[in-house]
Chain A
Amino acid sequence: MRKTRVRASRHLVTHVVLMAGALLMVSPFIWQFLTSLKTLGESTRVPPTVLPESAQWSNYSAFFDVVPVGSMAVNSVLALVLRVVGQLLVASLAAYVFARLRFRFRGPLLAGFLVVLMVPPQLFVIPQYEVIRTMGWLNSIQALALPGAFSAFGVFVLYQFMRTLPPELDEAARMDGANPWQIYLRIVLPLCRPALAALTILTSLFSWNDLLWPLIVNTIPDRMTLPVGLATLQGAQGTDYPVLMAGSLLTILPMVLVFVLLQKQFIRGIAMSGLKA
């Protein structure tokens, strides 16, 4: 009896601490939401008022008037889809070959992929930009998606996963006359679903939130992604905080919703790769 009470009270302290921490974690978002409903005057008032006098939902539509948000959102989504699909195809193929096939130069070729993982991304950026410009692809969707689609990150994640599948699977299929392509498509890929899901989520997150690369390659407002658009908006209207808060809230909402819905996969992805953008 006494023991339960002790444990309950200890958890009470835990809850107080965790709750205070959680509040600290989300308070910027609460402030962002409250500010997005204020008038410009309210947002710069000293001392600040917590609640808006009347909710200014027009700040949200104002965001659409200042920058071409519609096309930016479309660009962000298309770039994400292209990058994710490309990365899944490329990475699963390469990972399959390295994890399941026996061929010459396997070691050095694999090293070629893994070396890229250890190098900071800046070392690729200038020549990647030159490649995209040479192809005449500046200000395009493929410019946003292409380098990332070929990222060695996915190869690494899927390779680690595929190596854990028992080799008897391939051997049995080969006895039955299946070729490596059929084994990849019908046996290995279906078994990799959890890893593919994790990779999809992580690649989406990288793509949606990325700033430096899209900032460099797509400089026409209609061709920008949302983060770049937001950055431009701040440059143009650096002090209209309610509109900035409304816009930034809208752009983070999709990923937060996806996260809340697919929490388990998100967390598995992070734990699996131990990596973040």
Chain B
Amino acid sequence: MRPNRYPDNAWAAVLLAVPFAGLVIFYLWPLLRTVLLSFSEGTAFTGYTITGFGNWQRLFDGDDIWRALVNTLVYAAIVLLGVPIAMVVAALLHQRGLRGRSFYRTLYFIPVVTMPVAVAMVWRYIYNGDFGLLNEVLDAVGGPTRAWVADPDTALYAVAVVGIWMALGTNLIILAAGLEAVPQTLEEAAMLDGAGPVRRFFSVTVPLLTPSIFLVSVLSVIGSLQMFDLLFIMLGRTNPALADSKTIVYLFYEEAFVRNDRPLGAVIALVTLVVTLAVTAVQFRLQRRWVTYA
């Protein structure tokens, strides 16, 4: 008799019933529904009927989506600058015989576990143009002062600095795990050849760390494309800089749940998917040029 290739069909069906039902109700059906909604017209009261590309046209004829796309990409690019910072910190922490490693790691990691809403409030206060701490510090050292998050020229950048600050801990952990995997013998060989710490960092550590750097970069960008909480809190609804600083997810929230234009919201959601896939695909393409797998 041929052995049964699928001996567990019945058990799989039983055990998978609840997880799969949840997947369909809360994820797979919504996915389909969002696609359908993006081609529909109507309201929650009248119901929706499929009409065609009207919402898509409406969205891309306006300025909002383009500005939001640019803002989101700029934000993601700035937050990506946090990766080299995290590399330096990770390398410093990795030195053999360094004391207080876990103490530092704890402090650098705290922003990761704190609620974005809460820290955004603190930063908003620090950025305040009239009595904020940042202006006070900058004034003392002769730097420029302004209403950082109320000024359309600086608001997005000010939020992005907070984005770097919040992501540093996560980046650090992943890079530290990568560093653990770098063989100590190579470092030592370079040291015997007379390479100083900076030279060793760039010529030995960084090339061996490229897979982790790549992973961190991809995750950083994907996370940045989702930015909502920081903007929502740091730039309140009456903020004069808000109109010029919206990100895609902010625009999604506003259209879908403030103006209750669900079909337009569905289009924006699909745009985030396209952007995320496109940006990630570009990163994977570029990967061949600089990532080396040992």
Contacts and interface: CB of A to CB of B under 8 A. Distances in A.
Counting chain A residues whose Cβ lies within 8 A of the other chain, the interface size class is 35 or more
Given A18-B92, A28-B123, A103-B12, A212 B116 contact: no
B282 interface: no
Interface stretch (B56-64, B266-274, B284-292): B266-274
Contacts, number: 270
Contacts of B229: 211-212, 227
Interface string A3-30: 0000100110011011001101110110
A97 B20 CA distance: 11
Given A155-B19, A276-B170, A10 B197 contact: yes
A169 B220 CA distance: 38
Contacts of A131: 25-26, 29-30
A102 B7 contact: yes
Specify the main secondary structure of chain B where it touches its partner.
Answer: helix
B53 interface: no
Contact of B106 (A24, A91, A260): A260
Interface in B237-294: 237, 249, 252-253, 256-257, 262, 265-266, 268-270, 272-273, 276-277
Contacts of A161: none
B104 interface: yes
Interface in B180-219: 197, 215, 219
Contacts of A24: 165
Interface residues of B, number: 92
Given A126-B34, A181-B15, A252 B114 contact: yes
Given A124-B34, A231-B233, A270-B170, A25 B108 contact: yes
User: In terms of DSSP, what is the predominant structure of the interface of chain A?
Assistant: helix
A276 B168 contact: no
Contacts of B253: 212, 215-216
Interface stretch (A39-47, A53-61, A65-73, A192-200): A39-47
B15 A96 contact: yes
B46 interface: no
Contacts of B249: 122, 212
Contact of B118 (A15, A227, A258): A227
In the A-B complex, list the 7 residue pairs whose CB atoms are closest, starting with the nearest: A150-B22, A127-B30, A248-B118, A103-B12, A94-B19, A101-B8, A127-B33
Interface of A: 7, 10-11, 14-15, 17-18, 21-22, 24-26, 28-29, 31-32, 35, 43-48, 89-91, 93-94, 96-97, 101-104, 106, 109, 112-113, 116, 118-131, 146-147, 149-150, 152, 155, 179-181, 184, 205, 208-209, 211-212, 215-216, 226-227, 230-231, 234-235, 238, 241, 244-245, 248-249, 251-252, 255-256, 258-260, 263, 266-267, 270-271, 274-276
